[in-house]
């Protein structure tokens, strides 16, 4: 190794130790994001906060570089307690890469010792220097770690994630920093820019947050002749516009995802018979990929009410393979499946020392029973998923650790109420509605079941936890009208104890449906969906044109206010709402199809999705 590289190794592994540390008296502003890129051909990393460089790297002006999904914050201008970060270019022969330091002494030492290096900037961005003895960052600083590859083609990586630091050490990279934790610099938390995501060809059907991660479920709409669902998960980037998408492996469908407090994301994938679990880090890199097995599923109780098909050896029902849901339990998860015997089973998943999931408990939520298929006499698209709504399930967990699992009872399509009564000895008087079973997340004990009596056949489209329990949303056929009206939205609230606090039909226009709802702190609720459609009074065909629906409801579900929103072409649906750092994000789709839109023209079974910040909503 040339002498200058030996010195580089010594000086950069052990940064110059300056007495004391910068004290951050006030959190300076404004902030920017430092984005990490990777060149796989060279195995080199690079970071920059420069907007022109980021654009050039994103658009291929500098070929071979791709975002890793990782970033950290920086101050866009100097402030009290901050220090500038110097940036050097190391020429070919010395690495053909870049080196950054938040230590003024180390910057000066590098200029003096390495005249071949080009000082590209004395202030690439601003951060705070950690305590040089302890490595501690003053609040609200986030530790950023530096590692060196130890090769002749010198390269450094800068990461805010300790697990990435561990991975790089395993690969032979050498940590460089201050204190026992070897912290190189202290970055401010990155404030996510206003969200304005546009997705071509896929609807945004779900959004969730965890840590500093905002994750979206994007779905390409499929015809009745295609195998679905066709979904990807997308991780929102700091600019509020770009996303990093992760697609399931070929042959698998993405059923659901959960975001953990660490920012890790768990995915549940399905085929017609199998289930698979993936765990991603906050940048979208796969940490765990494992099959999920449950031999006991083939022996779960099954109560036959007719000759509907079933598959004892499958972990998904015969009628579809989108009956798998997952919610976070800290860094673990609750997985709920409807199996090939149509039984509903919940599992608590915990990570072992290697990060793989193990099953802590298994609970039979509801026994298997007959499920009958429903078809269309004409039409090519199932607009609201009404043909399989009685096969699916909805899951969430509240802050008390109560897991809620909700299933639909539609007369002569499903026999959930009858099977529940026969197996658990708890008679159900209602003929149509929703069965909500509560399970203790700690030990898997069934806590009881609640029936929401919709009186008429209806669908369930949303279940969300609140501080005091759960809210549910959907649509119900309140009347059969010649003009195609008579389908209204419904809203219900149940307490963690199982008591039904509210059930109300929400009638806004000819046809209404609510897909999601969240609770405000004052007892009111924000609910969203679509309105203005008509449906064949003797069938399932739904019109192509709808308008977005955003409403404010009181604690009992009564309509207080409809928020006026612009209407786009064809189906315009609000599908999901999530709160993040005191801001509301709303996702959905525009230009979606009706039941017959794709008849003879399959390309018209399409929609464009979005996620937007919704400033029209009340404060949380």
Element (H, E) at 51: helix 51-58
What lies within 8 Å, CB to CB, of 550 at 6+ separation is 526, 527, 528, 562, 563, 565, 574, 586, 614, 616, 617
| Between residues 240 and 469, the one the model is more confident about | 469
CB atoms inside a 10 Å sphere around CB 381 = 25
- Per-residue pLDDT tens over the stretch 36-87: 999 999 999 999 999 999 999 999 999 999 988 888 999 988 988 999 999 9
Asked if residue 22 has pLDDT above 50, the reply is no
Do you know the residue count of the chain? 620
- Per-residue pLDDT tens over the stretch 174-184: 999 999 999 99
DSSP character string of 498-562: S-EEEEEEE--SSBEEEEEEEE-TTS-EEEEEEE---B-TTS--B-S--EEEEEEE-TT--EEEE
For the chain, the average pLDDT equals: 92
The beta-strand segments (E) located in 128-173 are 142-148, 156-159
* 3 state SS of 10: helix
Q: Would you kindly state where each structural domain of the chain is located, as residue ranges?
A: 3-187, 196-613
- Return d(Cα 71, Cα 156) in angstroms, integer: 15
If pLDDT is split at 50, 70 and 90, which confidence band does 618 have?
A: low
pTM of the complete model: 0.83
- Architecture per CATH, 196-613: 7 Propeller (2.130)
- pLDDT in the model for residue 275: 98
Tell me the β-bridge partners of 346.
336, 363
- pLDDT in the model for residue 29: 53
- Return d(Cα 620, Cα 558) in angstroms, integer: 19
Tell me the β-bridge partners of 325.
336
Asked if residue 3 has pLDDT above 70, the reply is no
Tell me the β-bridge partners of 143.
186
Q: What integer is the mean pLDDT of 496-517?
A: 96
Q: What integer is the mean pLDDT of 377-395?
A: 95
| H-assigned helices in 146-298 | 162-170
Tell me the β-bridge partners of 65.
39
Q: What integer is the mean pLDDT of 276-304?
A: 95
- pLDDT in the model for residue 581: 81
- Return d(Cα 139, Cα 157) in angstroms, integer: 24
Rg over CA atoms, the chain: 27
First to last CA, the chain: 60
Out of 14-28, 191-205, 420-434, 447-461, least confident range: 14-28
- pLDDT in the model for residue 355: 87
Relative orientation angle of helices 3-13 and 104-113, to the nearest 10 degrees: 170
* 3 state SS of 437: strand
| Between residues 9 and 268, the one the model is more confident about | 268
Asked if residue 125 has pLDDT above 50, the reply is yes
- pLDDT in the model for residue 1: 26
- Return d(Cα 552, Cα 563) in angstroms, integer: 8
What percent of the chain is predicted at pLDDT more than 90? 82
Q: What integer is the mean pLDDT of 141-156?
A: 95
If pLDDT is split at 50, 70 and 90, which confidence band does 475 have?
A: very high
- Return d(Cα 341, Cα 482) in angstroms, integer: 39
Asked if residue 155 has pLDDT above 50, the reply is yes
- pLDDT in the model for residue 522: 87
Out of 25-29, 329-333, 482-486, 546-550, least confident range: 25-29
Residue 88 tokens, joined: 């050097």
Asked if residue 211 has pLDDT above 90, the reply is no
Q: What integer is the mean pLDDT of 560-568?
A: 92
Return phi, psi of residue 419, to 5°: -65, -40
Closest CA to 267 of 277, 259, 275: 277
Closest CA to 185 of 176, 195, 196: 176
The answer to whether residues 184 and 177 touch, using CB atoms and an 8 Å cutoff, is yes
- pLDDT in the model for residue 283: 85
Residue with tokens 């040089």: 132
- pLDDT in the model for residue 619: 55
Asked if residue 18 has pLDDT above 80, the reply is no
Residue with tokens 């009956």: 323
Query: Given the DSSP bridges, would you call strands 302-303 and 368-369 parallel, antiparallel or unpaired?
Result: parallel
What lies within 8 Å, CB to CB, of 226 at 6+ separation is none
The answer to whether residues 217 and 209 touch, using CB atoms and an 8 Å cutoff, is no
- Return d(Cα 214, Cα 216) in angstroms, integer: 7
- Per-residue pLDDT tens over the stretch 387-421: 999 999 999 999 999 999 999 999 999 999 999 99
């Amino acid at each position: 190794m040339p002498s200058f590289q030996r010195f580089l190794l010594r000086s950069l592994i052990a940064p110059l130790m300056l007495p004391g540390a910068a004290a951050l008296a006030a959190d300076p502003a404004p902030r920017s994001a430092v984005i990490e890129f990777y060149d796989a051909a060279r195995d080199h990393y690079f970071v920059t906060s420069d907007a022109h460089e980021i654009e050039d790297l994103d658009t291929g002006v500098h070929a071979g570089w791709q975002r890793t999904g990782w970033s950290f914050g920086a101050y866009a201008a100097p402030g009290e307690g901050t220090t500038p970060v110097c940036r050097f270019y190391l020429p070919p022969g010395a690495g053909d890469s870049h080196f950054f330091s938040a230590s003024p002494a180390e910057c000066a030492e590098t200029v003096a010792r390495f005249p071949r290096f080009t000082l590209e900037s004395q202030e690439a961005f601003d951060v705070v220097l950690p305590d040089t003895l302890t490595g501690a960052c003053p609040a609200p600083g986030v530790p950023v770690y530096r590692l060196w590859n130890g090769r002749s083609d010198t390269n450094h990586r800068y990461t805010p994630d300790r697990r990435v630091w561990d991975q790089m050490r395993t690969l032979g990279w050498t940590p460089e920093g201050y204190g026992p934790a070897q912290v190189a610099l202290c970055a401010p938390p990155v404030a996510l820019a206003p969200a304005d995501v546009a997705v071509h060809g896929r609807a945004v059907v779900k959004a969730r947050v965890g840590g500093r991660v905002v994750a979206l479920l994007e779905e390409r709409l499929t015809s009745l002749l295609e195998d679905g669902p066709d979904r990807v998960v997308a991780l929102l980037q700091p600019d509020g516009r770009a996303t990093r998408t992760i697609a399931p492996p070929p042959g698998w469908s993405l059923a659901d995802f959960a975001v953990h407090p660490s920012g890790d994301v768990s995915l549940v994938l399905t085929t017609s018979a199998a289930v698979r679990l993936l765990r991603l880090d906050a940048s979208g890199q796969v940490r765990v990929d494992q099959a999920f097995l449950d031999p006991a599923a083939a022996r779960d109780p099954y109560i036959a009410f007719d000759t509907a098909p079933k598959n004892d050896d499958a972990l998904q029902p015969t009628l579809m393979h989108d009956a798998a849901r997952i919610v976070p339990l800290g860094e673990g998860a609750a997985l709920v499946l409807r199996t090939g015997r149509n039984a509903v089973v919940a599992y608590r998943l915990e990570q072992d020392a290697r990060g793989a999931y193990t099953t802590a408990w298994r609970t039979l939520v509801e026994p298997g029973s007959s499920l009958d298929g429903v078809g269309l006499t004409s039409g090519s698209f199932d607009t609201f998923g009404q043909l399989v709504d009685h096969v699916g399930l909805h899951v969430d967990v509240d802050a008390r650790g109560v897991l809620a699992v909700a299933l639909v009872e539609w007369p002569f399509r499903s026999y959930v109420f009858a099977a529940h009564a026969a197996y658990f000895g708890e008679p159900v008087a209602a003929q149509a509605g929703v069965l909500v079973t509560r399970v203790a997340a700690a030990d898997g004990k069934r806590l009881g079941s609640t029936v929401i009596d919709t009186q008429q056949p209806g669908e369930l489209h949303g279940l969300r936890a609140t501080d005091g329990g759960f809210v549910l949303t959907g649509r119900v056929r309140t009347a059969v009208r010649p003009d195609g009206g008579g389908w209204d939205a419904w809203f219900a609230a149940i307490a963690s104890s199982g008591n039904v606090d509210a059930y109300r039909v929400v009638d806004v226009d000819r046809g209404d449906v609510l897909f999601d709802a969240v609770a405000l702190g004052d007892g009111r609720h924000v609910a969203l969906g679509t309105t203005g459609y008509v449906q064949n009074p003797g069938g399932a065909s739904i019109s192509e044109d709808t308008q977005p629906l955003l409403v404010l409801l009181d604690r009992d579900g009564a309509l207080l206010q409809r928020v006026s929103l612009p209407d786009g072409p064809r189906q315009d649906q609000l599908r999901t709402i999530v709160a993040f750092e005191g801001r509301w994000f709303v996702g959905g789709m525009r230009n979606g199809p009706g039941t017959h839109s794709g008849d003879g023209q399959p390309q018209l079974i399409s929609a464009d999705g979005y996620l937007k910040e919704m400033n029209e909503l009340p404060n949380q």
